[in-house]
Amino acid sequence: MPWITSILIAAGTSNRMGTSKPLLPWGTQKLIEHQIRTLDEAGADEIIVVLGHLADEVAPYVRGSSKLVTVTNPDYLKGKTSSIKCGILRADSRTTTYMLLAVDQPRTSPMIRELILEHHIKRSLITQPIAKGGKGGHPLLFDITLREDLLAITELNRGVREVLNSHANNINRVPTNSELPLVDINTKDEFERAKGLFHSSRSLSP
């Protein structure tokens, strides 16, 4: 049986934003709560939330799903790759697919649900959503057979991009006709743009 382990990275220092990105307001929730709900509704079997910077402040908002596992990365200052590996090492032994997403990349449940379906119907090695305009985005889905490749990623080698490049001919690229796969909140301007995009698609929590 397929088992989707979603790894939600919420460990970074949010330097460019100037405030904790997991705790940004998103409708009546915090951004991290929206992400957890989205992954839960999309059908993830396990949601591993990797904390780091301000973990004690963020932890109370890691809630809203019975599928949650929280892990704190003591090496979060070494970069996102250390948090990805931290999540992979904590994954359930039943895992067949890893789905990687950062807390500052808000998505919708229907989009993620479609990616999960595509990944399993086509028995893909890697699945990636393609935004309107043709650029690849997130979340990324990786088959369990790539576990060792993912555990070998480094900041020096551009993280998961190294895995994507190594298996470029085996990526299931799923068109979305949407800008959502590219939404990535690093600045206040990007935050406002993301909220506008979600409002226009009626996807922001009330």
| DSSP annotation string for 11-68 | ----TTTTS-GGGSEETTEEHHHHHHHHHHHHT-SEEEEEEBTBHHHHGGG--S-TTE
Q: How do the domains of the chain map onto residue ranges? A: 4-200
Task: Look up residue 178 and give its two tokens.
Answer: 């949407």
What was the pLDDT predicted at 201?
Answer: 66
Phi and psi at residue 17, to the nearest 5°: -75, -35
Residue found under tokens 């890697």: 126
The CA distance from 151 to 144, in Å, is 11
User: Which pLDDT tens digit goes with each residue over 168-198?
Assistant: 999 999 999 899 999 999 999 999 999 988 8
CATH topology for the 4-200 domain: Spore Coat Polysaccharide Biosynthesis Protein SpsA; Chain A (3.90.550)
User: Which pLDDT tens digit goes with each residue over 3-62?
Assistant: 999 999 999 999 889 899 999 999 999 999 999 999 999 999 999 999 999 999 999 999
Residue 167, pLDDT > 70, answer yes
Residue 204, pLDDT > 80, answer no
User: Which pLDDT tens digit goes with each residue over 78-106?
Assistant: 999 999 999 999 999 999 999 999 999 99
User: Which pLDDT tens digit goes with each residue over 128-139?
Assistant: 999 999 999 999
Give, rounded to a whole angstrom, the gap between the first and last alpha carbons of the chain. 35
What was the pLDDT predicted at 135?
Answer: 96
Residue 206, pLDDT > 80, answer no
Confidence of residue 1 (pLDDT cuts 50, 70, 90): confident
107 within 8 A of 38, measured Cβ to Cβ:
yes
Is 122 strand, coil or helix?
coil
- Confidence (pTM): 0.95
Confidence of residue 202 (pLDDT cuts 50, 70, 90): low
